[in-house]
Amino acid sequence: MSKSVLHIAPENTAGVPYNVMKMQSMFGMPARLLTFYKIPYDFPEDVCLNLPLPRSKVAMKWREFKQSNMQSKIKKDSVDMWTHMPYFEPKNSAEKAYMKLRENRNKPKFLKALDDIKADTFDIVHFDGGIDFFSDSQLAKAFKMKGKKIVNCYFGDDLRTRGIVRDMDELSDLNLTFEYDHTLRHPDINFLFFPFDNSSIEYIPDDVYNETASQKIRIIHSPTQRTVKGTAEISAAVELVQKSRDVEFLIIENTPREELLKLKMNCHIAIDQIGNRGGTGYGINSLETLSMGLPTITDMNCGMDTWLPENPFIVANKDTLAERLIELIDNEELRKSKRAASRAWVDKYHSYSSVFNKLTEYYQKAGIL
């Protein structure tokens, strides 16, 4: 009898929890996903409570400030060592009281959703983000008492700035991460390439790409947050390049995914991030551009550029970005070689079958299967 999996997540971060659920179901491991908040992008949802979460400009600026403040505590000279692994605690009594108030207000809706999807019938519970709905991790504790296997799966800044929830860490049977630097921070965590289905993403045909590139090279950058993605540094580098090369630069923001994909299809070079504020190297944005056959530039830290198997990226930082761009613009053969390798790399390492096989291996090693 196959095991069933319940994913519980604050948000469907970049669509990854949903893709993991979809992948598991596809390979005979029935799975569901319950999220608390709906993210302001058109990623699909399974069961979303759509709880209220302030997303005004003021609220978003406050979150950016808190994130920047926490990141600044990590000394620059140790950023590539990633020895700083904080534990989560409310910053003060006011924040603790606010968390409890929000929890109590939303508790009835959450418990009803658990009942509706028959949460007790699942064998494995993934806490995506490594955090319970309840601040005292009472749900995870209850599941553990009932013999469920607990998996903590970490995303983005979960271990960089927010930190580990002690109770959840102690309850976990398996820790997973989609972020390479987390493996250098947590003593017992396992890396997974996140599953990505590119079957609906068209690879730009060579004749189309070459014809439009011969007219004018078009560079695209599509940040979710400018500060995180280093948009100011990217813009400065492109402006420098434009003094000697006739190229077009597109910064695309707050655009529905399908529309953004169409815009990317008419470009020739993509820039993901500069400055390492958004993780160690790349995310869904890059997997889309690589799948299309767009040479993709990004910044990497923690030695990820040398660790990443068959690295398909053009790696650059703020000091070398303009130089890397000129190399790509001037060298048609370099663009061709990057195009040829890009989609094949995504298929090899990020396909559902590849990721599911690795996840199954981790499950077996942890005694979950």
pLDDT at position 316: 95
CA-nearest of 259, 288, 108 to 194 is: 288
Residue 316 token pair: 């650059």
Output the CA–CA distances (angstroms, integers) from residue 244 to 237, 247, 265, 332, 350, in the order listed: 12, 9, 25, 17, 37
pLDDT at position 68: 56
Reduced to 3 states (helix: H, G, I; strand: E, B; else coil), residue 260 is helix
What percentage of the chain exceeds 90 in pLDDT? 67
Tell me: pLDDT of 243 over 80.
yes
Tell me: pLDDT of 93 over 80.
no
Q: What is the pLDDT of residues 319-368, one digit of tens each?
A: 999 999 999 999 999 999 999 899 999 999 999 999 999 999 999 999 99
What percentage of the chain exceeds 70 in pLDDT? 89
What are φ and ψ of residue 129, in 5° steps? 105, -10
Going by pLDDT thresholds of 50, 70 and 90, the confidence category of residue 60 is low
Q: Average the pLDDT over 3-20 and give the result.
A: 93
Residues in the chain: 369
pLDDT at position 178: 92
pLDDT at position 131: 93
Q: What is the mean pLDDT of the chain?
A: 88
Going by pLDDT thresholds of 50, 70 and 90, the confidence category of residue 303 is confident
Q: What is the DSSP string of 33-96?
A: EEESS--SS----SEE-------SHHHHHHHHHHHHHHHHTS-GGGTTT-----B---SSHHHH
| Residues contacting 330, CB < 8 A, separation 6+ | 245
pLDDT at position 55: 53
pLDDT at position 158: 74
Tell me: pLDDT of 308 over 50.
yes
pLDDT at position 81: 46
Q: Average the pLDDT over 184-211 and give the result.
A: 92
Output the CA–CA distances (angstroms, integers) from residue 238 to 30, 225, 233, 326, 343, in the order listed: 47, 18, 9, 10, 25
Q: Which domains does the chain have, with CATH numbers?
A: 5-195+352-365 (3.40.50), 206-350 (3.40.50.2000)
Tell me: pLDDT of 74 over 50.
no
pLDDT at position 13: 86
pLDDT at position 278: 58
pLDDT at position 29: 96
pLDDT at position 75: 45
Q: Which of these ranges, 119-123, 168-172, 303-307, has the smallest mean pLDDT? A: 303-307
Residue 289 token pair: 């551009």
Reduced to 3 states (helix: H, G, I; strand: E, B; else coil), residue 125 is strand
Tell me: pLDDT of 88 over 60.
yes
Going by pLDDT thresholds of 50, 70 and 90, the confidence category of residue 121 is very high
Tell me: pLDDT of 300 over 60.
yes
Q: Which of these ranges, 141-150, 259-268, 277-286, 290-299, has the smallest mean pLDDT? A: 277-286
CA-nearest of 145, 174, 196 to 354 is: 196
Rounded Cα gap, residues 226 and 130, in angstroms: 26
